[in-house]
Amino acid sequence: MNRNQLFSLAESWFASQNWTPFPFQKDTWTAFLQGRNGLLNAPTGSGKTYALWVPIILDYLKKAEGKKHKSGLKAIWITPLRALSVEIKQAAERLIEGLEVPFEVAIRSGDTSVSERAKQLKKMPDLLITTPESLQLLLATKGYENILKDCSAIVVDEWHELLGTKRGVQMELALSRMKTVCKNLRIWGISATIGNLEQARQVLLGPDSEAYHNSVLVKAVLHKKINVQSIIPEKMESYPWRGHMGFHLIGEVAKIIKESRTTLIFTNVRSACELWYQRLLDYEPDFAGEIAMHHGSIDRDVRIWVENAIRDEKLKAVVCTSSLDLGVDFAPVETIIQIGGPKGVARFMQRAGRSNHKPGKESLIYFLATHAIELVEASALKKAVEKSVVEDRIPYLNSWDVLVQYCNTLAVSDGFFPDDIFNEVKTTFCYQAMDRDHWQWILNFITKGSQSLQAYDEYKKVEIEADGRYKINKKSIATHHRMQIGTIVGDAVMQVKFMSGGFIGSIEEWFISKLKPGDVFQFAGKQLELYRVKNMQVLVKKASRKPTRFASWMGGRLALSAQMSELLRQELYGANHGKKSPELAAMEPIFKRQRKESIVPESTEFLIETFKTREGYHAIFYPFEGRFVHEALASLLAYRISLLEPITFSLAYNDYGFELLSDKEIDMQSVIDNDLFSTSYVHHDLQKSLNATEMARRKFRDIAVIAGLVFTGYPGKIVKAKHLQSSSQLLFEVFRDYEPDNLLLQQAYRETFEHQLEEGRLIQALERIQSQAIVWKACEKPTPFSFPIITDRLREKLSSESLAERIAKMTASYMKGI
Partner 1 sequence: MLLISDVHLGKVSHFRKHGIAVPENAFLANFRRLTEVADYFGAELICFLGDLFHSKKNKEWDIFCHWTQSRPEKILLVTGNHDILKPEAYAQARIIVTSEFVTDAFLFTHEPEIRENHFTFCGHIHPGVTLRGVGRQFMSLSCFYLEKQQLILPAFGEFTGKWIVEPQQHARIFALTPRNVVEITLLERNGR
Evaluate whether 630 touches 660 at the Cβ level (below 8 Å). no
Told to check if 818 binds partner 1 by CB under 8 A, we report yes
Of the candidates 183, 219, 545, 797, which one interacts with partner 1 according to CB under 8 A? 797
CB of 414 to partner 1, least distance (A): 19
CB of 278 to partner 1, least distance (A): 23
Secondary structure letter of residue 298 according to DSSP: B
CB burial string 407-433: b at 16+ within 10 A, e below:
bbbbbbbbbbebeebbebbbbbbbbee
Residue 398 sits at φ, ψ, to 5 deg, of: 45, 50
CB of 452 to partner 1, least distance (A): 7
* Cβ atoms < 10 Å from Cβ of 562: 20
Told to check if 615 binds partner 1 by CB under 8 A, we report yes
The residue (of 517 and 740) whose beta carbon lies closer to partner 1 is 740
CB of 191 to partner 1, least distance (A): 37
User: Binding segment for partner 1 among 51-59, 548-556, 725-733, 767-775 (CB under 8 A)?
Assistant: 725-733
At CB < 8 A and 24+ separation, what contacts does 506-515 make?
A: 506/297, 507/297, 507/538, 507/551, 507/553, 508/553, 508/554, 510/554, 511/551, 511/552, 511/553, 512/538, 514/549, 515/549
* Among 775, 776, 782, residue whose Cα is nearest residue 593: 782
Distance CA 688, CA 686 (A): 5
User: Binding segment for partner 1 among 34-42, 522-530, 611-619, 680-688 (CB under 8 A)?
Assistant: 611-619
CB of 814 to partner 1, least distance (A): 4
The residue (of 27 and 631) whose beta carbon lies closer to partner 1 is 631
Told to check if 461 binds partner 1 by CB under 8 A, we report yes
CB of 194 to partner 1, least distance (A): 37
Distance from chain centroid for Cα 372: 27
Amino acid at 119: K
Of the candidates 237, 301, 419, 458, which one interacts with partner 1 according to CB under 8 A? 458
Evaluate whether 225 touches 771 at the Cβ level (below 8 Å). no
The residue (of 551 and 707) whose beta carbon lies closer to partner 1 is 707
Task: Kindly state the number of chain residues that form the binding site for partner 1, as judged by CB under 8 A.
Answer: 56
Distance CA 759, CA 746 (A): 17
Told to check if 445 binds partner 1 by CB under 8 A, we report yes
Q: How far apart are the first and last CA of the chain?
A: 88
User: Is the dihedral angle over the CA atoms 300, 304, 310, 313 positive or is it negative?
Assistant: negative
Of the candidates 234, 437, 737, 780, which one interacts with partner 1 according to CB under 8 A? 737
Of the candidates 91, 443, 477, 558, which one interacts with partner 1 according to CB under 8 A? 477
What lies within 8 Å, CB to CB, of 103 at 6+ separation is: 57, 60, 74, 92, 96, 125, 126, 127
Sketch the per residue contact string, 643 through 682, with partner 1: x for CB under 8 A, - otherwise: -----xxx----------xxx-------------------
Told to check if 114 binds partner 1 by CB under 8 A, we report no
Told to check if 724 binds partner 1 by CB under 8 A, we report yes
Amino acid at 513: S
Told to check if 817 binds partner 1 by CB under 8 A, we report yes
User: Binding segment for partner 1 among 423-431, 750-758, 770-778, 800-808 (CB under 8 A)?
Assistant: 800-808
The DSSP annotation for 577-630 comes to: SS---HHHHHTHHHHHHHHHHS----TTEEEEEEEEETTEEEEEEE----HHHH
CB burial string 127-163: b at 16+ within 10 A, e below:
bbbbbbbbbbbbbbeeebeebbebbbbbbbbbbbbbb
Q: Helices 682-692 and 743-754 sit at what angle, rounded to 10 degrees?
A: 120
Told to check if 720 binds partner 1 by CB under 8 A, we report no
Told to check if 621 binds partner 1 by CB under 8 A, we report no
* Among 470, 439, 446, residue whose Cα is nearest residue 460: 446
**How do strand 605-613 and strand 75-78 relate by DSSP bridges?**
unpaired
What lies within 8 Å, CB to CB, of 329 at 6+ separation is: 44, 45, 87, 311, 357
CB of 710 to partner 1, least distance (A): 8
The residue (of 670 and 729) whose beta carbon lies closer to partner 1 is 729
- Which uninterrupted H or E stretch holds 87? helix 85-99
CB of 174 to partner 1, least distance (A): 22
Evaluate whether 323 touches 296 at the Cβ level (below 8 Å). yes
What lies within 8 Å, CB to CB, of 471 at 6+ separation is: 411, 414, 415, 462, 463, 464, 465
Of the candidates 456, 578, 684, 781, which one interacts with partner 1 according to CB under 8 A? 456
Distance CA 302, CA 504 (A): 9
- Residues between 280 and 339 that touch partner 1 (CB under 8 A): none
- Residues between 545 and 584 that touch partner 1 (CB under 8 A): none
Sketch the per residue contact string, 676 through 715, with partner 1: x for CB under 8 A, - otherwise: --------------------------------xx-x----
The residue (of 512 and 743) whose beta carbon lies closer to partner 1 is 743
The residue (of 234 and 737) whose beta carbon lies closer to partner 1 is 737
- Residues between 479 and 518 that touch partner 1 (CB under 8 A): 480
User: Binding segment for partner 1 among 45-53, 68-76, 448-456, 537-545 (CB under 8 A)?
Assistant: 448-456
Distance CA 558, CA 322 (A): 12
The residue (of 286 and 733) whose beta carbon lies closer to partner 1 is 733
The residue (of 247 and 617) whose beta carbon lies closer to partner 1 is 617
CB of 702 to partner 1, least distance (A): 16
The residue (of 352 and 488) whose beta carbon lies closer to partner 1 is 488
Distance CA 579, CA 568 (A): 16
- Residues between 33 and 52 that touch partner 1 (CB under 8 A): none
User: Binding segment for partner 1 among 345-353, 392-400, 516-524, 735-743 (CB under 8 A)?
Assistant: 735-743
Distance CA 479, CA 720 (A): 15
The residue (of 341 and 708) whose beta carbon lies closer to partner 1 is 708
Q: Which residues lie near partner 1 (CB under 8 A)? A: 445, 449-450, 452, 456-461, 474, 476-477, 480, 615-617, 648-650, 661-663, 708-709, 711, 723-724, 726-727, 729-731, 733-735, 737-739, 742, 795, 797, 803-804, 806-807, 809-818
